[in-house]
Amino acid sequence: MTTFGCPIREGARVHPEAEALTYAGRAWSYGALDAEVNRWVAALEARGIGPGQRVVLLSTNQPACVFLFWALGRVGALLAPLNARLTRAELAPLAEDIAPALTLATEALRERLPGAESLETFASPEYVASGERLPRERTMKTRASSETPTPELTSGGRPPNAQPLNPSVASAVRPPDEESLATGASLRPSMACVSTTGRPRDAKPLTPSEPSTTCMPLAEDSPRVVLFTSGTTGRPKGAVLTEGNFRASCRASAENLGSHPAPRWLGTLPLFHVGGLAMLTRTAYEGGCLVLHERFDAEATSRAIDEGVTHVSLVATTLERVLDIRAGRQVPETFKLALIGGGPVPVFLLERARAVGLLALQTYGLTEACSQVTTESPAEADGKTAGRPLPGTQVRIVGDDGEARGPGEEGNIEVRGPTVMAGYWNRPDATREAFRDGWLHTKDLGALDARGRLTVLSRRTDLIVRGGENIYPAEVEAVLANHPSVQEAAVIGLPDARWGEVPVAFLAPRTGQPRPDAQELATWCRESLAGYKLPTRFVWLDALPRNAMGKLERTALRKVLTEG
């Protein structure tokens, strides 16, 4: 079985002085970053974190997130980064689902995750040496619970009936049989040469403040992260992405975009999103530099482009804000391209970008497919489609009957290839439902043209995509339905020039109760929902429209908006 070492360790060996990471005026070479990761490995090992265990993280983009990601890989543990925009009520079930051996959060966010330890001080020599660790009994108990097998994943970590497309990137483990699907198996990587803390069995005892050189080899099917993704049921699912997924995504993207030595990717996408982690891993695999920003800022992004950033990933709304800041000023020749995800990009916006020399390539991606699925190529970009499937990835359009559709015919988008997730964390039924004969059923609608380029027609039936952020209607509806004046609620997406879509709530009143105004309803929602999920309008109806079967007719609600 093919295994991989840590790219930061390799970079420190091959080009130790090359820049690997920058943040807020600070810079780390590969040698310095390797040393920093060694400190974090020591801190994790001092806490007993080892193969197969999970660490929950709640943070905005910080250098510590980068250190932690690579350190967890070296001890064979998984990272579960949670959305820093979620409320305490939204985070609690996600953390409970992960059953982490360790929970870390920035000081500003710790109150949202009870029991979380400080990310800022976790790996400091003073903290590690202070002995502020879990008692041994609690550590062993937590470790045992965090090593519970996940029934939806097979011993090979592959999706049900998955068919490898490329021997060089496919898992060496054969596809699962029915018995393994039913019984499940542990996610832990091979532990033949490591202890439960990830250190070699013959290693000398580690001094708490001493850096650790532990660096476990990872197989292609070794799980690396659990990323919670969305759906229309209101219950997020944790997609398990492997080392092989990230490496295959990097190779395919580089082949499509063209080789660029030591790329400098601007990291404005959150590291709790697959797009952010794709940039983090891609720069390391290619020997480049991650120019990390805590959050997107149009002026800072424009300035970074002028200062030598070569690549950036944006959504349509953030691209427009950058172009507004530049006010027609040309981008420098050092800047190569921007990947634009999160939905179709208006033609006028692409034309504005090209007018200032900014090559904007549309892309269609999924958390479950480790970011990009299709992307325009620089030589063929015309802004009319989301491009061809990345090399090694297959995309097909099928009807509701499961039969493949021809060029130009609309249908369900399905994906197969080495970037597709291992499965959903602790959700065996959802995993089985997601795969059909080895193909990932995305529930998105689209069409392929005669040249194999994808046009995405709908981002799932009811899902609302606001500025690249997914909103589950059922989740917002549940919060509104708990208001004492609301009998029932329905939330749909309204097209918006700035955000792509915004949520609008339709409400049926509860008999005998006053109808609260929009401000009161927004305040009610804000107690349980992140700001981007708040409806922009609240529309009262005597009753919500339903068909003869009692099913809500969302199409009728859209007509209320368009005709009223």
Q: Which residues of 347-361 are buried (b: 16+ CB within 10 A; e: fewer)?
A: eebbebbeeeebbbb
Instruction: Quote the CA–CA distance of 271 and 266 in Å, as a whole number.
Output: 12
Side-by-side strand order, sheet with 117-118: 117-118, 102-105, 54-58, 78-82, 223-229, 237-242, 423-424
Contact, 365 vs 275, CB < 8 A? yes
Contact, 504 vs 561, CB < 8 A? yes
Q: State residue 344's pLDDT score.
A: 67
Contact, 207 vs 131, CB < 8 A? no
Contact, 274 vs 281, CB < 8 A? no
What is the Cβ-side half-sphere exposure of residue 333, based on CA atoms within 13 angstroms?
A: 0
Quick: pLDDT tens for 99-130.
Answer: 999 999 999 999 999 999 999 999 986 554 44
For residue 455, the cross-strand partners are: 447
What values do phi and psi take at 411, rounded to 5?
A: 175, -165
CB-based contacts of 562: which residues, under 8 Å, 6+ apart?
A: none
Q: How far is CA 104 from the centre of its chain?
A: 18
CB-based contacts of 438: which residues, under 8 Å, 6+ apart?
A: 159, 160, 161, 162, 163, 175, 416
Q: State residue 146's pLDDT score.
A: 43
Q: State residue 36's pLDDT score.
A: 97
Domains in the chain with CATH codes: 30-190+214-240 (3.40.50.980), 244-458 (3.40.50.12780), 464-563 (3.30.300.30)
Q: State residue 390's pLDDT score.
A: 97
Cα–Cα separations (whole angstroms), residue 143 to 201, 434, 546: 18, 30, 49
Contact, 397 vs 446, CB < 8 A? yes
Low-confidence ranges of the chain (pLDDT < 70): 125-209, 230-234, 343-344, 458-461, 547-551, 564
Instruction: Quote the CA–CA distance of 224 and 244 in Å, as a whole number.
Output: 9
Residue with tokens 């199409």: 555
How deeply is 286 buried, as exposed, middle or buried, from its count of CB atoms within 10 A (0-12, 13-18, 19+)?
A: buried
Neighbours of 177 (CB within 10 A): 11
Q: Closest by alpha carbon to 51, among 156, 194, 220, 206?
A: 194
3-state secondary structure of 479: helix
416: left (phi over 0), alpha (psi -120 to 50) or beta: beta
